[in-house]
Amino acid sequence: MERAASCKVSTIRGADLFCDIEPSARLTWRHLAPGLTVVTLGTLAAGFLSDRYGAPLTLMALLVGLSLNFLGADRKSAPGVDFASSSLLRFGIVLIGARVHIDQMIALGPVAMVAILGVVALAISAGIIAARVLGETIAFGALAGAAVGICGASAAMALATTLGARRANDGQLTLVLVGISAMSAGAMAIYPLVAHALNFTDLQAGFLLGASIHDVAQAVGAGYSYSPRAGEIAAIVKLTRVALLAPVLAIVAASLPRGSTGARGPTVPWFVAGFFAVAGVNSLGWIPARASDSANVIAVALLAAAVTATGIRAPITRLVAAGPRPLIIIFFATLLVFGAAVGGALLIG
């Protein structure tokens, strides 16, 4: 009876969608401070490395987190690190909604919208199928597919939070983050060259790059490396994929059973509802451009902190034991998405 009551409370707070987490003592800022300090310093270091060498922030945050992995077992820092990897992530997802504007998505036209929906659906399906073939779990396939199809590390971490620790553990999440960071960086360098080789127009190139590159900043950067117009199109297409994060999370939350009773969990986690709310307010034009830009900066910082914390918590031995199969799954989904994006670019041309 007590377990059901505590589960109900945690569900309302959005911390345990499927009763996966045992109730724990209430934490104060004194408990969180050591771990949050470590995560903050690690994230600042990652930001410096990213700015200094032009490397993706997500990749740098993950590498710095892994270098601090020895602190993952420290009891003093564990509460703050756990908080950063979960709660900060949720708030970051809410603020991502400030990037989304419905008018920009509508301006793409029905063909482009259908193509984007097809890319996302294909990525998630490919991840799940490849995972089943190679002996990995469906949850890992969904993580890989969502990361490839929607918005890279942000999507993987958001989906892992929604699935719960028993379905998607830190080892699986870290493998996806490693693979997605490496392949997104490669895509940023290679895909614009392919677009040039195919003699794509700015519209076609922008669609290809926005629909196929995993990370938001890298998709936009690749677009502008092609042309300013292609960069604008890539940004709109990529943010349309980002907007699909919330519906995917809501579908996952509604489709999985709650606990051992088989009852359904809440239809929409609070951070997904927050994403919808912020995106809706932004689409109405009620968020000033400066405030939207500030929200984007904060969201990037929160997500980077969550990635750093995930690296600190990652079970290294499990990563080594996994072998190349997880990377093969991510590569397979990436390859299919690239082919679908090329097809979509040809259609809208």
- Per the DSSP assignment, residues forming a β-bridge with 263 are 258
Q: What is the DSSP letter of 200?
A: -
| Angstrom distances, CA of residue 71 to CA of 28, 78, 97 | 20, 8, 33
Position with higher pLDDT, 263 vs 333: 333
Please determine, for residue 16, whether its predicted confidence score (pLDDT) is greater than 80: no
Q: What is the DSSP letter of 99?
A: G
Please determine, for residue 336, whether its predicted confidence score (pLDDT) is greater than 90: yes
What is residue 324's predicted lDDT score, i.e. its pLDDT?
A: 84
Mean pLDDT of the region 210-221: 87
Query: Domain spans of the chain?
Result: 42-348
Please determine, for residue 39, whether its predicted confidence score (pLDDT) is greater than 90: yes
Position with higher pLDDT, 17 vs 334: 334
Please determine, for residue 28, whether its predicted confidence score (pLDDT) is greater than 90: no
Helix (H) or strand (E) holding 258: strand 257-258
Position with higher pLDDT, 21 vs 185: 185
Mean pLDDT of the region 76-83: 91
What is residue 268's predicted lDDT score, i.e. its pLDDT?
A: 60
Please determine, for residue 15, whether its predicted confidence score (pLDDT) is greater than 60: no
What is residue 190's predicted lDDT score, i.e. its pLDDT?
A: 92
Position with higher pLDDT, 313 vs 9: 313
Tell me how far apart the alpha carbons of residues 108 and 150 are, in angstroms, rounded to a whole number.
17
Please determine, for residue 266, whether its predicted confidence score (pLDDT) is greater than 60: no
* Mean pLDDT value across the chain: 84
Tell me how far apart the alpha carbons of residues 325 and 110 are, in angstroms, rounded to a whole number.
37
Please determine, for residue 349, whether its predicted confidence score (pLDDT) is greater than 90: no
Position with higher pLDDT, 264 vs 269: 269
Contact 211, 183 (CB under 8 A): no
Lookup result for tokens 């968020």:
287
What is residue 279's predicted lDDT score, i.e. its pLDDT?
A: 87
Rounded percentage of the chain residues whose pLDDT exceeds 90: 37
What is residue 56's predicted lDDT score, i.e. its pLDDT?
A: 79
Lowest mean pLDDT among 118-127, 167-176, 241-250: 167-176
Please determine, for residue 218, whether its predicted confidence score (pLDDT) is greater than 70: yes
What is residue 208's predicted lDDT score, i.e. its pLDDT?
A: 96
* 3-class DSSP assignment, residue 227: coil
Tell me how far apart the alpha carbons of residues 258 and 18 are, in angstroms, rounded to a whole number.
5
Q: What is the pLDDT of residues 51-70, one digit of tens each?
A: 998 887 888 998 999 999 88
Q: What is the pLDDT of residues 147-200, one digit of tens each?
A: 999 988 889 988 988 888 788 887 888 889 888 888 888 898 899 999 999 999
Q: What is the pLDDT of residues 309-323, one digit of tens each?
A: 988 988 777 666 777
Position with higher pLDDT, 315 vs 85: 85
What is residue 164's predicted lDDT score, i.e. its pLDDT?
A: 80
